Amino acid sequence: MTSEYKTIDEANQAVIDKILAATPFLMDVVPAKSVIPLLDQQSGAKKVLLHAGPPIRWDEMTNPMQGSCIGAVLFEGWAADEDAALELLTSGKVAFEPCHHVGAVGPMGGITSANMPVLVVLNKTDGNYAYCTMNEGIGAVLRFGAYHRGVIERLRWMRDVLGPVLGQVLRGIEGGLNVNVLVTKAIAMGDEFHQRNIAASMCFLKEIAPRLVYADVPQDQLREVMRFLADTDQFFLNIMMAAAKAVMDAARTIQAGTIVTAMTRNGSNFGIRISGMGDTWFTAPVNTPDGLYFTGYSSADANPDMGDSAITETFGVGGMAMIAAPAVTRFVGSGGFGDALATSNEMRDICIARNPSFPVPTWDFQGICLGIDARKVVASRVTPVINTGIAHKQAGIGQIGAGTVHPPVECFDQAISAYAEQLGFTG
């Protein structure tokens, strides 16, 4: 070992100890540029957009992610219309950087720009922060590549009203909002925190609503924010993503072992990181989800998988915790209760342990999966299951279904080979 650990098992234990000890708190909502220096450009400097997944160039992006970029350019006022935005984006004057490289995560396209408000999660155990944009609701939304006027107007309202109001309420909570508590509550209420966040979103509303009505904000803004939060069943997803990122980034400080510390997709490639290989991405062409389609759509319309949201599965929820959310199994086309149980049991076999902080009543109170071991994936050829929304391959149409997707096993093969080589094994 190149580290203080005598064996891979010992290193892996140190990684999962970091996950177990993590205490993510939702502290604030602030403009992205105020916490992500890369986005805080000086006038004349190169513009930057963050995106989901491992690194990608503009010309490699699928249509929905490109659509999201157009939307972000219009939102930021970098261009006056779609044509001008496209010209800017293809000119090379906009740099693209993975969210993951700057402590952030983004759903679907994951496009994040300077003035978008982001959720601020602090892992108090290690003192590290993570960020994620807020959920825009359903229908035509930027994360699926929509960029028409209504989409941009909603983003501006989120910037001018939702973000500041929610930030004010959160700053008024002494010590912030304990995310683990919300996860523990909602996992007993059928959420798996990727496809289904309705209980957690209501738990969040229950915390925010009574504080919001005491906040010193204009009445019209209070009303709009209350309505938006009550209507947005997936609001908690982005909180869960930021929390999982904060936890897994703390785990990544242990630079040894074979625990998967990130899984993410950019519509072109799937990328993973393992603890022993630090910041290195191991990538392979991404799969297209299997699942159920909304009326009028089929797999022929589906975009290949994208988004940083698989950070939830990396942490042990989402598809890994399918049994927590039997109501989801039908929505993603994975059968009934027995199928959900079989899925979680299978996932348990590629993990090191289970996390007792988050007991699953429907799993006879076993904890969620803890620590995907890339060695076990390589040996068993069983890959993590990811619950996901399915985007139309054409920008702006949005979600057309929901299903499950698996990473290509090659990512894990590469990671283990590289780590073995780093440890001095050859051939």
| Interface with a copy of itself (CB under 8 A) | 185, 188-190, 198-199, 202-203, 205-207, 209-210, 213-214, 219, 222-223, 226-227, 230-231, 326-327, 329-330, 336-338, 361-365
- Beta-carbon contacts of 112 under 8 Å, excluding residues fewer than 6 positions away, are 32, 36, 39, 49, 50, 51, 72, 99, 104, 106, 118, 133
Q: Please, what is the minimum distance in Å from the beta carbon of residue 207 to a copy of itself?
A: 8
Tokens representing residue 326 in the block: 């039997």
Contact 345, 291 (CB under 8 A): no
Q: Please, what is the minimum distance in Å from the beta carbon of residue 279 to a copy of itself?
A: 39
Q: Please, what is the minimum distance in Å from the beta carbon of residue 190 to a copy of itself?
A: 5
Partners of 52 in the beta sheet? none
Q: Please, what is the minimum distance in Å from the beta carbon of residue 182 to a copy of itself?
A: 12
**Closest CB to a copy of itself among residues 232, 266:** 232
**Closest CB to a copy of itself among residues 78, 204:** 204
**Closest CB to a copy of itself among residues 134, 146:** 134
Contact 66, 49 (CB under 8 A): no
**Closest CB to a copy of itself among residues 14, 198:** 198
Torsion sign over Cα 50, 53, 54, 58? negative
With residue 177 as reference, give the H or E element that holds it.
strand 177-178
**Closest CB to a copy of itself among residues 232, 303:** 232
Q: Please, what is the minimum distance in Å from the beta carbon of residue 188 to a copy of itself?
A: 4
Contact 18, 127 (CB under 8 A): no
With residue 269 as reference, give the H or E element that holds it.
strand 269-274
Alpha-carbon dihedral angle through residues 147, 148, 153, 158, given to the nearest 10 degrees: -30
Tokens representing residue 339 in the block: 């199928």
Total residue length of the chain: 427
Look up tokens 């027995």; give the residue: 338
**Closest CB to a copy of itself among residues 247, 323:** 323
- Beta-carbon contacts of 12 under 8 Å, excluding residues fewer than 6 positions away, are 257, 258, 259, 275, 352, 371, 373
Q: Please, what is the minimum distance in Å from the beta carbon of residue 341 to a copy of itself?
A: 10
DSSP letter string, 39-104: G-PPTTSPEEEEESSS---GGGS-HHHHHHHHHHHHHHTS-SSHHHHHHHHHTT-EEEEEGGGGTE
Q: Please, what is the minimum distance in Å from the beta carbon of residue 351 to a copy of itself?
A: 20
With residue 118 as reference, give the H or E element that holds it.
strand 117-123
- Beta-carbon contacts of 37 under 8 Å, excluding residues fewer than 6 positions away, are none
Q: Please, what is the minimum distance in Å from the beta carbon of residue 415 to a copy of itself?
A: 35
**Closest CB to a copy of itself among residues 17, 231:** 231
**Closest CB to a copy of itself among residues 127, 210:** 210
Helices first, then strands: H and E counts in the chain: 15, 16
**Closest CB to a copy of itself among residues 66, 195:** 195
Q: Please, what is the minimum distance in Å from the beta carbon of residue 117 to a copy of itself?
A: 21
